[in-house]
Structure 1
């Protein structure tokens, strides 16, 4: 298997939409109301990724994991969203946030997610970001386990809203982004 991590392009949007929707459904069935899941369609996702890639916001990056020539995962990082309980740490160290990390369900557990997260972290580190945070639905035990295994430290919980639905999100942090980057050298995920 040949795995590479690279910046996404607009021509990737259709495949990215499929990976996102398939992963979103597999990961969140039973965790979110069905009507909310149903708002995620291939077309909506493809169009959303295409818009994001055509007009990126400053400091935001979208990457894909490519396995044997096919897109296997998508992720997005950028400036950390405001969260007052973390203000002190953010003022001491430039902090980025992972907004999305999705891997095709059939490829989860095969190192794709870890490689993609490290690729995203490396991109932020190149911009001088020293710290990384991310939020994951608190009810999503497999994803929480993955981030903990990748060395993320649980900071706490915050509210997030999706289509007006309030959800509990657990926030993980890598206080030194280099620890996440070095996990590839020791064979971690």
Structure 2
């Protein structure tokens, strides 16, 4: 299913808070219960998908939303870490995964990283999330590190070298 023609991307505003949070609450159970269990999902929703956790990123201009009509159907959140731009979140509601919305959001994050003169864009995904791994590999990302998860799956770190970047 391709829905790109009806999708618009834009920077999130305060009015988008509930829609952004709803994307997380719609995607996390389907994505992470099979990989890490219900307790991990409950912890993640309580820690990363609340108004308190989301408002600072929206205010800082680091959240992009994808919408169809007036419904937010996907989002990204980026931020700096150790001199690199990190894609902290990229989520598309389950019924639209595979429709091209995620690719649109990812290309927008890559364009932002390039415009802000970062040399690479980094992200992580939970080991076992084969859909995420395949999606990011398809877009040119390569694994460079792993954080041991202990009781949850490891976090696999990937990066994309950006065109026009220079070392040093």
CA–CA separation in structure 1 for the residues paired with 2:136 and 2:130: 10
After TM superposition, the score normalised by the length of structure 1 is: 0.74
Structure 1: which 5+ residue stretches go unaligned?
83-93, 179-189
**C-alpha displacement at 1:114, in angstroms?**
0.7
1:12 is the counterpart of 2:1: no
After TM superposition, the score normalised by the length of structure 2 is: 0.82
**C-alpha displacement at 1:35, in angstroms?**
2.0
Name the counterpart of 1:23: 27
Name the counterpart of 1:154: 143
CA–CA separation in structure 2 for the residues paired with 1:155 and 1:147: 13
Contact 1:96 1:132 in 2 (8 A): yes
The 3 A distance-change label for structure 1 pair 107 and 125 is: same
Name the counterpart of 2:58: 53
Deviations 1:19-56 (A, max 9, x none): 11111111111222312312426xx52442234324x3
The 4+ residue runs of structure 1 with deviation greater than 3 A are: none
CA–CA separation in structure 1 for the residues paired with 2:148 and 2:88: 15
When the two chains are superposed, the root-mean-square deviation of aligned CA atoms in Å is: 2.2
Contact 1:23 1:105 in 2 (8 A): yes
Name the counterpart of 1:125: 114
Name the counterpart of 1:172: 158
The 3 A distance-change label for structure 1 pair 14 and 117 is: same
Name the counterpart of 2:131: 142
Matches within 5 A, 1:53-92: 53-54=58-59, 56=60, 61-80=62-81, 82=82
CA–CA separation in structure 2 for the residues paired with 1:134 and 1:160: 16
Structure 2: which 5+ residue stretches go unaligned?
none
Contact 2:87 2:123 in 1 (8 A): yes
Length, aligned pairs only: 157
CA–CA separation in structure 2 for the residues paired with 1:51 and 1:148: 30
